[in-house]
Amino acid sequence: MFIISHAASGYIAGKIISHHKKLDKYQQLFIVLVVTFSVFPDVDGVFSATVAGHHSILHTPVFWITVSCLIYVIGRKFYPSKNHIIAWGVFLGANLHLITDWITARTVGIQWFYPFITKNYYLYSIYPEKGQIPIYEMVTNPYWSFYMENKLLFGFEFGLNLIAVFILLRKINLSFKNESEK
């Protein structure tokens, strides 16, 4: 999945969860964390030579479970009022990244059970040989055409971006309305 789509899915999830859960003054913090960490695992792309080779430990659940637990435990001492919000934001954002990468995998899957089982999991067939290109060539052909071949997945990803833009525009519109009513 492309980074912009990860950010979109993080924004949608953050909005939905923060709407249903009582987060009070930490609502914004929670959404920012979910969006940030729904993108963050792809940092390993900076250090990878190819698209298909960019899944490091940042793309494994065990890493993010450990990080979230550490944030929760350390936070109890240093920021006890919001340690659970921060830990949940990081956990949900990062795992949403893994789930959406698993759904939309084209060249590399997710190692759900790393380090116990190093098998790659993916929803549709993957073609690692198509991903032997540098990350920055993802938006050019032939990779782009290959990426669009699975219309269902491409539509799903495009749809996420549309929904995120819709929510964002609605929010901007509402805040304009509130401002003018003041």
- Contacting range for Zn ion; rule: CB under 5 A; set: 21-29, 78-86, 94-102, 103-111: 94-102
CB 58 within 8 A of CB 43: yes
Residue 119: C-alpha distances to residues 44, 60, 61, 114, 181 (Å):
19, 11, 13, 8, 57
Candidates 85-93, 100-108, 130-138, 141-149: pick the segment binding Zn ion (CB under 5 A).
Answer: 100-108
Three-class DSSP category at 121: strand
What is the C-alpha to C-alpha distance for residues 8 and 82, in angstroms, rounded to an integer? 24
Only segment of 24-32, 67-75, 101-109, 153-161 that touches Zn ion (CB under 5 A) = 101-109
Asked if 157 is part of the footprint of Zn ion (rule: CB under 5 A), the reply reads no
Q: Using CA atoms, how far apart are residues 173 and 115, in angstroms rounded to an integer?
A: 47
Within 28-47, which residues bind Zn ion (CB under 5 A)?
Answer: 42
Residue pair 111/25 in contact by the 8 Å Cβ criterion: no
Q: How far is the CB of 182 from Zn ion (least distance, A)?
A: 42
Nearest approach, Cβ of residue 42 and Zn ion (Å):
4
Both tokens of 77, joined, read 């001492």
Tell whether residue 101 is a contact of Zn ion (CB under 5 A): yes
- Residue 149: partners with Cβ closer than 8 Å, 6 or more residues away: none
What binding mask, one character per residue, do residues 121-140 give for Zn ion by CB under 5 A, x or -? --------------------
Residue whose CB is less far from Zn ion, 101 or 157: 101
Interface ranges with Zn ion (CB under 5 A) = 42, 101
